[in-house]
């Protein structure tokens, strides 16, 4: 079976810093990573391949630098990678991105039919979770999002059964291939690739496609032109005007500090103890 996994390279948001003077995002030295949500989908695709055979192709749309993210996927065990890169794709929002990716996947199909397309639930930078649905619609795929587990795959009947997270539980749903799946975060852990995977990642020359390779591409459907949403401005969140009032105790013991804290809290919030009692009582009642 052939799975195509769509990934995105994003700045590692845990290391993003705002420059305190210029208030801009400091990209210098912030490493780029594979969008963490995509890795859950990649792992699911790799597990299916391990069980049913076939291959996993990872594709991303981005600048040349995105080859790093693809190399990372190779190091996790992906079989093939493709970079879709062209100036006309720049400035794409999610609708335009799904347009471009769908052209590319159609191109992949020419040599190797695709059974499943995996996407990450959303990206951490930009993040509307709409690329998946866009691809599903354009390519005629059944859409399965928030999947927590792939329970069953019937190769003969070409049907897949998954668990899908919903409010208060999971739906067990079955649909026909081809399908698009986005995995919920935390449902698996991306494997640590073998040494051979690591070598492959370091030695492979990533295949790059431009618009001409997947065309003809209608320029009005991709890039900035193809994006119905417009970013009006980017700004730093308003800092809460006051910093924390620090609490200290003269006597350095934890107990003295604890008492000092309670004193301050109660002074600021007189009904604290009563509210706590109510809360405790309510919780006891629920058990």
Partner 1 sequence: MNRKFDAIVVGAGPSGDAAAYTMARSGLKVLQLERGEYPGAKNVQGAILYADALEKMIPDFRSDAPLERHIIEQRMWMLDDASHVGTHYRSDDFNEKKPNRYTIMRAPFDKWFSEKVREAGALVICETTVESLLMDGRKVIGVRTDREGGDILADVVVLADGVNSLTATRAGLRPAVKPEEVALAVKETHYLSKDIINERFNLKAAEGVVIEILGKITRGMVGTAFLYTNKGSISIGIGCILQDFKDYGVPPYKLLENLKEHPSIKPLIAGGQVKEYAAHLIPEGGYKKIPELHGDGWVIVGDSGGFVNAVHREGSNLAMTTGCMAGETIVELAREGRAMNTRNLRRYRERVEASFVMKDMKKYRNLPGVLHKNRHFLTTYPELFNQAAHKLLTVDGVDKRTKEKEIKRQFLKSRSLWGLIRDGISVIRAIR
Partner 2 sequence: MAGTAVKKQDTAPAVDLSAWKDVWVFIELERGAVHPVSWELLGEGRKLADEIGSRLAGVVLGRPGAETAAVCDEAFAYGADLVYVIKDDVLGDYRNQAFTHGVQRLVRKFKPDIMLLGATPLGRDLAGSVATVLRTGLTADCTVLNIDPETGCMAADRPTFGGSLLCTIQILNYRPQMATVRPRVMAIPEKRPGRKGEVVEEALDLQEQEVITKVLDFIADEKRDEAQLSFADFIITGGRGLAKEENLQLLWRLAEVMGAEVGATRPVVASGWMTPDRQVGQTGKTVRPKLYVAAGVSGAVQHRVGMESSDRILAINTDPHAPIFDFATHGVVADIVQLLPALAEALEERLGQTGENQGEEVK
Q: Kindly identify the residues of this chain, within the stretch 227-256, that bind partner 2 according to CB under 8 A.
A: 227-237, 239-240, 243-248, 253-255
The least distance separating partner 2 from the CB of residue 270, rounded to whole angstroms, comes to: 12
Answer yes or no: are the C-beta atoms of 102 and 131 closer than 8 Å: no
Q: Interaction with partner 2 in 180-199: which residues (CB under 8 A)?
A: 184-186
201 binds partner 1, rule: CB under 8 A:
yes
Whether the CA torsion 10, 103, 137, 46 is positive or negative: it is negative
**Four-residue CA torsion sign, 219, 222, 224, 226:** positive
**Strand, coil or helix: 285:** helix
State the Cα angle at 101 between 98 and 104, rounded to 5°.
Answer: 155
Which listed option, partner 2, partner 1, none, makes contact with residue 4 (CB within 5 to 8 Å by class)?
A: none
Q: Counting contacts by CB under 8 A, is residue 223 touching partner 2?
A: no
Contact 239, 252 (CB under 8 A): no
Pairing of strands 169-176, 159-166: antiparallel
- Asked if residue 29 binds partner 1 (CB under 8 A), the reply is yes
Half-sphere exposure of 106 (CA within 13 A, CB side): 17
- Stretch 129-168: interaction string toward partner 1, x if CB under 8 A: ----------------------------------------
Determine the interface stretch with partner 1 among 46-54, 160-168, 197-205, 248-256 (rule: CB under 8 A). Answer: 197-205
Site string for partner 2, 252-281 (x = CB under 8 A): -xxx-xxx-xx-xx--xx--xxxxxxxxxx
Q: Write out the residues near partner 1 by the rule CB under 8 A.
A: 17, 19-21, 28-29, 31, 75, 192-199, 201-203
């Amino acid at each position: 079976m052939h799975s195509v996994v769509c990934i995105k390279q994003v700045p590692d948001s845990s290391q993003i810093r705002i420059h305190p003077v210029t208030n801009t995002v400091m990209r210098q030295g912030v490493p780029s990573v594979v969008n963490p949500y995509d890795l859950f989908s990649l792992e699911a695709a790799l597990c299916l391949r391990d069980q049913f055979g076939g291959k996993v192709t990872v594709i991303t749309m981005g600048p040349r630098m995105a080859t790093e993210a693809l190399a990372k996927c190779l190091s996790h065990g992906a079989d093939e990678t493709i970079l879709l890169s062209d100036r006309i794709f720049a400035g794409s929002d999610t609708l335009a991105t799904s347009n471009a990716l769908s052209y590319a996947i159609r191109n992949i199909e020419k040599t190797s039919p695709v059974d499943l397309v995996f996407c990450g639930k959303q990206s951490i930078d930009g993040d509307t979770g709409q690329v998946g649905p866009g691809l599903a619609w354009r390519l005629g795929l059944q859409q399965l999002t928030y999947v927590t587990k792939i329970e069953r795959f019937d190769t003969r009947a070409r049907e897949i059964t998954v668990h899908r997270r919903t409010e208060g539980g999971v739906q067990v749903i079955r649909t026909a291939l081809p399908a698009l799946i986005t995995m919920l975060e935390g449902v698996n852990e991306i494997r640590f690739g073998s040494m051979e995977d690591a070598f492959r990642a370091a030695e492979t020359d990533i295949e790059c496609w431009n618009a001409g390779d997947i065309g003809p591409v209608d320029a009005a459907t991709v890039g900035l032109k193809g994006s119905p949403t417009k970013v009006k401005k980017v700004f730093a969140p308003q800092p809460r005007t006051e910093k924390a009032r620090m609490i200290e105790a003269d006597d350095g013991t934890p107990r003295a500090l604890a008492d000092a804290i309670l004193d301050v809290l109660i002074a600021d919030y007189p009904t604290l103890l009563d509210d706590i009692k109510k809360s405790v009582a309510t919780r006891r009642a629920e058990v």
